[in-house]
């Protein structure tokens, strides 16, 4: 590719492809076999701060990659066996059919499927399928605080963290926003215990024993102080609280509806075809 054309490319690509709409006719840049690469097909590769030589190399590299791929494709298309060509055509036809069907199903679901799942439905499902919701890990409601070791008035923070009074927790939150490296309030939300324990400087060997005997925990290393105020916990192999599995139940119900909707859609189209004689077995 000559230098003048490359410089023209740089000017074109840095000013934007939108200007190409004003050009009558397309500008050919390169040819590979029986395919031509046009100027408007090249993405804007030039970047602010790149030198002219670097931008030229970038564009040349793009054109070379295009040529290699195009030449390889043409060579393959000319020499592939009839059996493989038929298999490719079959796969392309199947892929297109799957994409069209998927988009149609998605469109119908958006237009017609009931996506609202009420709290009553969620609670009924939880009650009926309670045996399915057994915890596979320990979960906890707690405050987790990670403070720099030099944080002032740690004893005050300890006192506030142990409290259940809303005013104390608001004061604690205000202090932690000033000093804490991390402040996670899971007082109203169940979370896996290992989400907190992984933050601690030392491993907890027996989580069940730890949770049974601990309401407040403190650990230190050379840099930080770690505080956990345990509000509630549930042990693995016990029944999961409704709040913990609520989102999972919603996904289960929605997915069940989706499957049922698609089946009804398919059956409806099939039955209509039978009535209209557009499906006939010979």
**What is the CATH architecture assignment of 135-234?**
Roll (3.10)
- What residue segments make up the domains of the chain, in order of their start? 3-79, 135-234
Q: How far apart are CA 264 and CA 210, in angstroms?
A: 52
- Interhelix angle 242-275/119-128, nearest 10 degrees: 100
Mean pLDDT across 44-68: 79
Return the closest-CA partner of residue 187 out of 228, 247, 137.
Answer: 228
Mean pLDDT across 114-119: 92
Report the percentage of the chain scoring pLDDT > 90: 76
Q: When comparing pLDDT for 19 and 77, which is higher?
A: 77
**What pLDDT, on the 0 to 100 scale, is given for residue 155?**
92
- Does 1 have pLDDT greater than 70? no
Structure tokens at 69: 């791929």
Q: How far apart are CA 218 and CA 146, in angstroms?
A: 10
**What pLDDT, on the 0 to 100 scale, is given for residue 217?**
95
| Strand-by-strand arrangement of the 216-220 sheet | 182-192, 139-148, 224-234, 216-220
Answer for the pair 112, 165: CB distance below 8 angstroms, yes or no.
no
**What pLDDT, on the 0 to 100 scale, is given for residue 2?**
55
**What pLDDT, on the 0 to 100 scale, is given for residue 258?**
96
Mean pLDDT across 125-143: 95
Instruction: Say how many CA atoms lie within 13 Å of 89 toward its Cβ.
Output: 8
**What pLDDT, on the 0 to 100 scale, is given for residue 12?**
55
Answer for the pair 245, 136: CB distance below 8 angstroms, yes or no.
no
Assessment of whether the complete model's pTM goes beyond 0.75: no
**What pLDDT, on the 0 to 100 scale, is given for residue 46?**
57
Pairing of strands 216-220, 28-32: unpaired
Q: Is 71 helix (H, G, I), strand (E, B) or coil?
A: helix
**What pLDDT, on the 0 to 100 scale, is given for residue 168?**
92
**Three-class DSSP labels, 104-125:** HHHHHHHHHCCCCCCHHHHHHH
Structure tokens at 200: 């601690």
Mean pLDDT across 77-99: 95
* Rg of the chain, C-alpha, whole Å: 32
Q: Is 278 helix (H, G, I), strand (E, B) or coil?
A: coil
- Does 186 have pLDDT greater than 50? yes
Mean pLDDT across 179-191: 93
Q: Is 38 helix (H, G, I), strand (E, B) or coil?
A: strand
Q: How far apart are CA 32 and CA 262, in angstroms?
A: 46
- Does 134 have pLDDT greater than 50? yes
Report the percentage of the chain scoring pLDDT > 70: 89
**What pLDDT, on the 0 to 100 scale, is given for residue 124?**
97
267-276 pLDDT, tens digit per residue, is 999 999 999 9
């Amino acid at each position: 590719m000559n230098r003048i054309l490359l410089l023209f490319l740089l000017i074109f690509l840095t000013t934007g492809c939108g200007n190409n709409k004003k050009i009558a006719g397309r500008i050919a840049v390169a040819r590979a076999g029986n395919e031509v690469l046009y100027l408007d097909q090249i993405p804007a590769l030039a970047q602010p701060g790149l030198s002219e030589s670097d931008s030229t190399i970038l564009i040349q590299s793009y054109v070379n990659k295009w040529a290699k791929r195009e030449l390889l494709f043409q060579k393959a298309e000319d020499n592939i066996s009839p059996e493989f060509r038929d298999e490719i055509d079959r796969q392309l036809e199947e892929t297109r059919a799957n994409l069209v069907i998927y988009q149609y199903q998605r469109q119908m679901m958006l237009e017609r499927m009931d996506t609202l799942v009420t709290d009553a439905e969620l609670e009924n499902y939880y009650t009926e399928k309670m045996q399915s919701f057994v915890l596979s890990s320990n979960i906890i409601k707690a405050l987790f605080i990670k403070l720099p070791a030099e944080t002032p008035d740690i004893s005050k923070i300890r006192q506030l963290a142990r409290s259940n009074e809303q005013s104390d927790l608001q004061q604690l939150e205000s202090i932690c926003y000033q000093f804490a490296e991390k402040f996670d309030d899971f007082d109203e939300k169940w979370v896996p215990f290992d989400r907190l324990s992984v933050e601690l400087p030392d491993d907890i060997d027996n989580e069940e024993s730890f949770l049974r005997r601990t309401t407040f925990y403190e650990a230190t290393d050379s840099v930080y102080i770690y505080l956990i105020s345990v509000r509630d916990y549930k042990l693995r192999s016990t029944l999961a609280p409704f709040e913990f599995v609520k989102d999972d139940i919603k996904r289960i119900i929605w997915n069940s509806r989706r499957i049922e909707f698609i089946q009804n859609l398919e059956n409806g189209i099939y039955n209509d075809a039978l009535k209209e004689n557009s499906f006939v077995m010979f």
